[in-house]
Amino acid sequence: MNGWGTNTVPGVVGRVRFQILGNPWSPWYDAVNTSQPIAPVPGGSITVQANPQRINTDDTLNFLIPPAFCMGDVIAHVEVRVTGFDARPDFPGFSESVGAGSPPVTFEPRRTLDLRYVRVNWGGTTPSDATCRATLLTAVPLLPTPMAFIQPLAGTGVVSGGASTSSRRDDLLDDFLDRHDCSSWEAATEFLGSDCPEDDGAIWVLIAGAFPAGSQGNSRHIPSDVCFTAPNDGPYAAHELSHCLNQIHLGVPCPNGKTAPHGDAPGAWPGGGLLADVPFDVTANTTVRGLGGKVWDVMTYCGTVISDGSDNTWPSPQRWQQLWDYIGA
């Protein structure tokens, strides 16, 4: 804009509608900027910058596709408008509206994950049901599943963490694995009276009340259907859930001084495990800024929660594809 209007355009609003090819158009939906939880905001606007940056959440108008339209081949029609730009006492300002359509995007079905949480008194603290649900809900956007069924594990109250050590954690995982899975020995001796549990198809997630220094999450096997994680940290829970979904570590030397053991070498992954693009957290309705604008793959140990409350790990495109293939339709 060559300096005119302070090089910005305030009060820019937008709306979008969707069409599954061959079907009627949806209603119009407003942008979701500033909403929490994420949802259309009637009349919500942004200030367009001369050089918008993808890392800044509100440098763009952001929209949410309703779940009913996330199937088949879908096109979008976006309309953006401004009213009274650069208005002055003797000038009503400029008003303009522009629209554009998208090429078709094809949605493919994925299996909905079934998650059951177990509250573990750990470090002298017990997580609430709300904390457990929130932990898993913030992990779901990091996994290629449309949603998740999240419930407490039936018949299980609060589990004592005892000494809150790694060995106690592993004992708990072993106990719940035995409750969840029918071992080959149990299957072979069931006719003699062995108790062979029926698989409920869910992943059981043991969630600690608090993580004192030295505590660490774990999945007893890879893949698995039982894991142990920290509270109030979606990317941490997604890391452990990804182990359950057959993902191993990526051994990137992280800025926090940690390197995930027993996994792939960084050179085996595009960008060495560093994401080239900016992730968007639909739970928090914000971009994931990471440390210095850098975000690493979720299976590294770079997952430090930073000052703005976001994490600096997220599934890289290659990780997403591996999870996508494993979860299946």
Domain boundaries, the chain: 4-107, 113-327
* Token pair recorded at residue 253: 């030397």
CATH code of the domain made up of 113-327: 3.40.390
Question: Which of 304, 312, 271 lies closest to 288 in space, CA to CA?
Answer: 312
Residue 79 DSSP class: E
Greatest extent of the chain over all pairs of C-alpha atoms, in Å? 94
* Token pair recorded at residue 197: 């549990």
Please answer whether residues 16 and 79 qualify as being in contact, where contact means their C-beta atoms are separated by less than 8 angstroms.
yes
Q: Do the bridges between strand 72-85 and strand 105-107 make them parallel or antiparallel, or are there none, so unpaired?
A: antiparallel
Q: What is the dihedral of CA 263, 269, 272, 274, to 10 degrees?
A: -100
pTM of the model: 0.87
Tens of pLDDT, residue by residue, the chain (329 residues): 677 767 899 999 999 999 999 999 999 999 999 998 899 999 989 999 999 999 999 999 999 999 899 999 999 999 999 999 888 899 999 999 999 999 999 999 889 999 999 999 998 899 999 999 999 999 998 999 888 999 999 989 999 887 778 899 999 999 998 888 765 544 444 444 445 556 678 999 999 998 877 778 999 899 999 999 999 988 999 999 999 999 999 999 998 888 999 999 999 999 999 999 999 988 889 998 888 888 999 999 998 665 555 578 999 999 999 999 999 98
Q: How far apart are CA 317 and CA 49, in angstroms?
A: 28
Q: How far apart are CA 247 and CA 249, in angstroms?
A: 7
Question: Which of 222, 224, 223 lies closest to 204 in space, CA to CA?
Answer: 224
